Amino acid sequence: MGSGHQFTFGGDLLVAPVLRPEERSRGVYLPAGTWFDFWTGRAEAGGRDINVPVTIRSIPVYVRGGAFIFQQPVVQHTGEMPGQPLRVSVYPAASSASVLYEDDGRTLAYQKGGFARRRFSQARSVDPRGRDQAVTIEIARAEGTYRPKARQLELSVRWTGEPASVTARRGGGQPQAMAWTMSETGFLVVKMEDSFEGVTIEIR
């Protein structure tokens, strides 16, 4: 199968389905820019065709550099959603931004301001070898009156190497050191209370 059988989802996700059980590889065309393998975190330069090993159960999915991917755990019904962590995966680029909109999903309260809308932005600098020097992520204070049940915010940032420091600053306060871990796929993971008051995270 050629690279023509693929599609983008929301502009930041590129999906190349595997349609035949006997397929062992398939071509994928990555548009210009940097793309990250969703499953492994590996970065690929765009503007070219690549060949990807596949099975019927391994669908190639790529994420555009600069994307914010918002996720919550799989639940059996929407009644289980309150309190579940909000997971935000950040694929850094020179700079980018995205907006997350939430409401209660049941009523018309959003028509009277019963929603939460937040702007997420990031900026990245690299050294001459292309390794990360700093990533700054700003999460703006939420607009609207809706607030979900208390939950954690799990921020996963694609990062090369090991950072010297990770800090969070809320409002006009002083930066505070944050605990972090590294995932097997090269993401730096920070967990915090999702306060909706705005926060700046700096990784250096």
* Per-residue pLDDT in tens (0 to 9) along the chain, 204 residues: 445 689 998 889 999 998 888 888 999 999 999 999 999 999 999 999 999 999 877 899 999 999 999 998 776 666 666 789 999 999 999 999 999 999 998 899 999 999 999 999 999 998 888 888 999 999 999 999 999 999 999 999 999 888 999 999 998 789 999 999 999 999 999 999 999 999 999 999
Please give the span between the terminal C-alpha atoms of the chain, in angstroms, as a whole number: 42
pLDDT of residue 80: 63
Domain contains 1: no
- Tell me, yes or no, whether 34 and 118 share the same domain: no
pLDDT of residue 75: 63
- Tell me, yes or no, whether 120 and 133 share the same domain: yes
Residue 104: in which H helix or E strand, if any? Answer: none
Backbone angles phi and psi of 78, in degrees to 5: -65, -20
Domain contains 2: no
CATH at 14: 2.60.40.1180
pLDDT of residue 99: 98
Output the six-digit token pair for 141.
């204070």
pLDDT of residue 162: 87
- Tell me, yes or no, whether 57 and 73 share the same domain: no
Domain contains 116: yes
- Tell me, yes or no, whether 106 and 196 share the same domain: yes
pLDDT of residue 1: 43
- Tell me, yes or no, whether 55 and 26 share the same domain: yes
pLDDT of residue 32: 95
* CA separation for the pair 27, 4 (Å, rounded): 9
- Tell me, yes or no, whether 18 and 56 share the same domain: yes
The amino acid occupying position 38 is F
Domain range spanning residue 53?
A: 7-64
- Tell me, yes or no, whether 46 and 74 share the same domain: no
pTM summary value: 0.90
Q: How many domains does the chain have?
A: 2
Q: Which residue has the tokens 């690549």?
A: 50
* CA separation for the pair 203, 128 (Å, rounded): 18
Task: Give the chain's largest Cα–Cα span.
Answer: 58
pLDDT of residue 4: 61
C-alpha closest to that of 198 among 156, 138, 148, 116: 138
Domain boundary among 45, 64, 83: 64
Answer for the pair 35, 14: CB distance below 8 angstroms, yes or no.
yes
Domain contains 76: yes
pLDDT of residue 77: 62
For residues 185, 189, 198, 177, the Cα torsion angle rounded to the nearest 10 degrees is: -140
Answer for the pair 100, 117: CB distance below 8 angstroms, yes or no.
yes
- Tell me, yes or no, whether 107 and 95 share the same domain: yes
pLDDT of residue 3: 56
Domain contains 114: yes
pLDDT of residue 76: 61
- Tell me, yes or no, whether 35 and 72 share the same domain: no
Domain contains 121: yes
- Tell me, yes or no, whether 159 and 198 share the same domain: yes
